[in-house]
Amino acid sequence: MIRDMQWMPSKLVPRSAPFFLLILTLAAAVSFAAVSHLVARYNANQQSRGRKLYAEGLADANAGRYDAAIATLRAALTCEPTNSQYQLSLARALRDSNDSRRLDEAESYLLALWQRTPQDAAVNLALARVAAHRGSIEDATRYYHNAMYGVWNSDPDANRKNARIELIQFLIRKGAPDKAESELMALATASPLDPAAHLQAAQLFEQAQDYPSALAQYRDVLHLDPTNAEALAGAGQAAFRSGNNSVADHYLKEAVKANPQDANSRQLLATTDLILRSNPFHSHISDAERNRRIAAAFAQAEKRLTVCAKQKGIDLNASNSASSLPAQQTRWMATKADLAHLRSPGETDLPDAIMDVVFQIEQQTAAICGPPQGLDLALFLISQKREAAIP
């Protein structure tokens, strides 16, 4: 019996390998679950830390503290290396830091994002701004267009419009008015029946020095809002800059009436009034009035010449002066006798010849003594318009 009892333990222990495999599998599963739990907690902690750092980095960037923003956003990115929003924000901070050495790094982040989602409008806009920082018209235009026609997460119409406006302003700054013009035409065509939209388009046309198109946009504003003081002033200025003085006079009078404190419109109105009252080439004046205006302009030119010469210490009677003013004085004196012949019907070219002397004096004195004022300014502007009309 004792012998039988000695064999009992060996009979109670299983001798098959599956039992041991089961034990090992259960142990491995428990260990894996524990590790997975630890990894999940670590990742959650990292994500939480990353979100906190990201928020701090955005706050620094919005406040213009780009060095701090870059450092904090880099730390956020170490928490989530594949987070595209963190990469985009870091690239923006690198770009906006105004450190040319950081542009390459910003571009590398953005190009990596672009390769993954080339249709992402926000990424294309960020790349457009990098190109604008570098002054590349070709690259900036391409990426701005990508942004306009790309996918926006919210408010796509407003974002596309703003992207086009950014491109227009960039092209104007870079001295590319022809390229800006085509973008402006697209903007104007897409503008809704909203005074603010047409007002913005008008101001951009003015920046591009396309004054006729600016005037057209200002008129669209006034069609929708006839008493808009800003549009009245803008229309007057655009008409003035394009040399359309009669139209300028109309809008500037309305602008001053709508806003008596508008000093700029008041000053332009005074100049426009002088131009309209002193221009001898106006089509609706009599011969007598034309001759009176020519005589007044001729006398004013001599005054301007004398004052400018005195201001610069130039002797108008010197025969070997390095200045051009004595030659203008000689020409004025030689032309003075022709004033008496203005009444002669056969002297059809004489008004042009006399006014050519006036215009030369006004242009030369403006170059030597600075911008003219009053009647001299009016005559100077008339001379510019007259030259522009000659092919």
Q: Report long-range pairs for 145-149 (Cβ below 8 Å, ≥24 apart).
A: 146/118, 146/121, 147/121, 147/122, 148/121
How far apart (Å, rounded) are the C-alpha atoms in residues 51 and 40?
A: 16
What residues does each domain of the chain span? 42-113, 287-389
Question: Token pair 């602008």 is at which residue?
Answer: 255
How far apart (Å, rounded) are the C-alpha atoms in residues 156 and 154?
A: 6
How far apart (Å, rounded) are the C-alpha atoms in residues 119 and 7?
A: 78
Q: Which residues contact 47 (CB under 8 A, 6 or more apart)?
A: 79, 80
How far apart (Å, rounded) are the C-alpha atoms in residues 39 and 60?
A: 31
Topology annotation, domain 42-113? 1.25.40
- Per-residue confidence of the chain (391 residues) as pLDDT tens digits? 445 545 455 554 455 677 677 777 777 766 676 666 565 675 567 678 888 988 988 898 999 999 999 999 999 988 888 888 989 999 999 999 988 889 999 999 999 999 999 999 999 999 999 999 999 999 999 999 999 999 999 999 999 999 999 999 999 999 998 899 999 999 988 877 889 999 999 999 999 999 999 999 999 999 999 999 999 999 999 999 998 999 999 999 999 999 999 999 999 999 999 999 999 998 888 989 999 999 999 999 999 999 999 999 999 988 777 889 999 999 999 999 888 888 765 567 899 999 999 999 999 999 999 999 999 999 999 998 875 544 3
Q: Which amino acid is at 59?
A: A
